[in-house]
Amino acid sequence: MPKLLMKIKSIGSLLTTLGLLCIFPLTHLTQKAYAKTEQFSTEYKIHFDFQENGEAVVTQNINVTNLVSDVIASSYTLTFKQMEVYGISATVNNKSIEPEKTSENNETKIKLNITNYVIGEGRQNKIELIYKTTDLSSKVGEIWNINIPKTEFTKSTAFYNVQLSIPNQFGPKVYISPSPVTEENSNGKTNYYLTREQLIDKGISASFGKYQIVNFRLTYQIENPSILPGTYEIALPPDIPHIQQVKYENITPAPKNVVLDSNGNAMARYKIKSRGKLEITVTGKARITGRQINSEFGGEMDNIPKKYIKAYTNEQPYWEVNSPEIQKIAKTLINEDNNVIQNAQETYNYVVNNLEYNYEAVENGNIQRNGALKAATQKKPWTCMEFSDLFITIARSMGIPAREINGHAFSNLSEDKPLSIKLRGGDYLHAWAEFYDPFYGWIQVDPTWGNTAKVDYFTKTDTNHFAFVIRGTESEYPLPAGTYRFSDIGNLVDVDFAQEEDPRAFEEKLILIKKRNFNILQILRGNQKFKLKNEGHVFVYDINNKIQNLAPDEEVTLFLPKGSSKVRYETFNGEVVEKSLMVID
């Protein structure tokens, strides 16, 4: 898997050298050729055996087959950049040899001198190298993440198989990209197998664990500049089916009410007096899960519901759907024989491969949003806003519903996962996108990190994206947490990982309160009047097919048959729950 450096000796008067440089974590596999590549073929079997503490024992078995009779390999060198390796051992043709390790400028080289090489066309030199590292995995909150960057294969690489062995203690699979060809469980570990064809131009990324739990404390500063009282609203972090469930532990002061907008945002409304200011604090937890999709299962373009086409394919500021330049790009990318996901992936690939990221954006402070058209027509570095805007705009131009998500992303401001939206006061936000597929529903993608991390952020979502707001019917509203501010002092966004807690913390809690029934029609129908109150900290949806949703601490009137306390509702994932509730007189 890593880049390989082999010195080659000739037999007799011919003396040549073949170089394959190996850098790990690898960005590519290259060949520096002083001899013709057809003098050898190589076969790789790479085993990443992860231990419970995250350490990886890496075993590389490489077969180098001589394709000519007068050239042999005399050494093998691995180069690791910014990666600590230890516990190194090696054999060549079943004979132990002492690896030579050197380190300089964050670069470590391991050289194997091959003295017992075999000679002759069709014969093989068998190399086995074993080393250990803790730099291929990391535990973030309750989730284990594995990242192995991509490999570029040469023509001489005839065979390349990878095996990942993951301890069951890591938890269930959130995703593995690319999807393994096979998987099996044995001896307390799950083994995943990937092939050369799957790994062409792709790295391996994987995530394990039930879900990620984050704590959040968000401050909203709003003011009414008018001489008249007014009603204002703020966007709370929303529930997102199959991705994100939010628990609102405390909202101070309490809102007048909380409603869901057409995008699914939870909008808390407040009445503010003339020239008044109000600071609101929202604390809670979010449970974030990942999801992996298969592009082959995507729905057909003709099956996209008309309501989504109407709401999420039109032109908006920064989404110049009707511009000739955007239309031209969309026409070159769309394929009528492809399904929705396949066409969306063409859009994603175009954005990832054609835009350059602006790594200086954060240092420059507040930056201007430029929109999709400028990103498509001007060759300059851009931020996550332009990456997302261009994906959304091209997808919409294709007829694929698409919209934007703003929120918090856990990245440590690294170069592979940068954040480029820096707000007044020092808070950071990230922008990514989602599109609608008739089979999967809304699918989140991150073209920015797909560009910078060189990892697939299309077929899977990770647990490091915490959404604050969804924008689709409008490109500039609602505003995300962190942007409601009347003072430049202090941070407004505080988000961090939480430890595993009681799973019942996110359960729904509804009660019925008996009320006097003066409704003659309901009395004649044999119904009794109740107040249905949401005493839990999470939203419930589609109550008895009559009430669209009920926010925490809110109540609604509900009529039920006499003697019955049974209520039907849906969770944030659309799971149907039907049970008898506690009744209070």
- Looking at the predicted structure, is the pLDDT value of residue 69 above 90? no
Q: What percent of the chain lies above the pLDDT cut of 90?
A: 69
Q: With H, G, I as helix, E, B as strand and everything else as coil, classify residue 430.
A: strand
Q: What is the pLDDT of residue 14?
A: 25
Choose the CATH number for 5-208 among 2.130.10.10, 2.60.40.1730, 3.40.605.10, 1.10.10.10: 2.60.40.1730
Strand runs (DSSP E) across 338-478, as ranges?
356-357, 381-382, 402-409, 421-422, 428-437, 441-445, 460-461, 465-471
Residues near 237 by Cβ (< 8 Å), separated by ≥ 6?
A: 216, 218, 244, 246, 266, 284, 286, 407, 466, 467, 468, 469, 481
Backbone angles phi, psi at 264, to 5 degrees: 100, 5
Mean pLDDT across 207-230: 94
More confident residue, 501 or 528: 528
For residues 46 and 38, what is the distance between their CA atoms, to the nearest angstrom?
Answer: 23
- Looking at the predicted structure, is the pLDDT value of residue 232 above 90? yes
Class for domain 292-490, per CATH? alpha beta
Tokens of 299: 């729905």
* Phi and psi based region of residue 578 (left: phi greater than 0; alpha: psi -120 to 50; beta: remaining): beta
CATH of domain 507-584: 2.60.40
Tokens of 284: 């809670």
For residues 58 and 135, what is the distance between their CA atoms, to the nearest angstrom?
Answer: 12
Among the listed ranges 176-185, 499-508, 560-569, which one has the minimum average pLDDT value? 499-508
Q: What is the pLDDT of residue 42?
A: 87
Q: What is the pLDDT of residue 20?
A: 32
Give the burial string for 556-581 (b: 16+ CB within 10 Å, else e). eebbbeeeebebebbbbeeeeeeeeb
Q: What is the pLDDT of residue 152?
A: 66
Q: What is the pLDDT of residue 461?
A: 82
Mean pLDDT score of the chain: 88
Tens of pLDDT, residues 329-352 = 999 999 999 999 999 999 999 999
Tens of pLDDT, residues 97-153 = 999 999 888 888 999 988 887 888 888 889 999 999 999 998 888 889 898 877 667
Question: E strand or H helix at 272, and its extent?
Answer: strand 266-272
- Tell which residue, 375, 481, 396, 490, has the closest CA to residue 430: 481
pTM (two decimals): 0.83
What residue ranges of the chain are covered by domains with CATH 3.10.620.30?
292-490
- Looking at the predicted structure, is the pLDDT value of residue 301 above 80? yes
Angle between helices 324-333 and 340-354 (to 10 degrees): 120
Tokens of 291: 């999801």
Chain-centre distance of CA 312, in angstroms? 22
For residues 168 and 185, what is the distance between their CA atoms, to the nearest angstrom?
Answer: 9
More confident residue, 59 or 119: 59
Q: What is the pLDDT of residue 33?
A: 32
Q: What is the pLDDT of residue 512?
A: 97
Largest distance between two CA atoms of the chain:
109
Q: What is the pLDDT of residue 39?
A: 81
Tens of pLDDT, residues 396-420 = 999 999 999 999 998 866 678 888 7
